[in-house]
Structure 1
Amino acid sequence: MYGLIGKIVCVAGLRDALAELLLAAVPGLPGCLSYVIAQGKPMIVGFAERVETTPLGGQGLAQA
């Protein structure tokens, strides 16, 4: 398992709308799951920096 932190680049002026759409989906997505919302695709220009991480604990991982 690994973690991925990425930056979404959106269409100018649509940052708040995209953030609202993504935040509305959070309650149904436990943990750090990767997801793309089809409704948000027209608001996304691309993806910028990304960093892979190694989770030390959390949902879905065995307790130490």
Structure 2
Amino acid sequence: MLMKWIQSLFPRHQEKKKELDQSSRRVALTILRYRESSKEIQAEIERNKFSKYLVYDRGDHHGGH
């Protein structure tokens, strides 16, 4: 009930909520695509048996190097 009251007073709020929902869906889709691509790349590396020659950067750059 409170949300309907807010929306009636502030139509821009409804537009912003719609934009936020669309953005959230785009981010979720991008993450899903990234995960799928990552799985495909990992599978290809395993099939080609060259993974032991790769150096992986785990992104842990917080320690003192």
Note whether the superposition's TM-score is higher than 0.5. Answer: no
Greater helix fraction, Structure 1 or Structure 2: 2
Greater strand fraction, Structure 1 or Structure 2: 1
What is the TM-score normalised by the length of structure 2?
0.27
What is the TM-score normalised by the length of structure 1?
0.27
Q: Which has the higher contact order (CA 8 A, sep 6+)?
A: 1
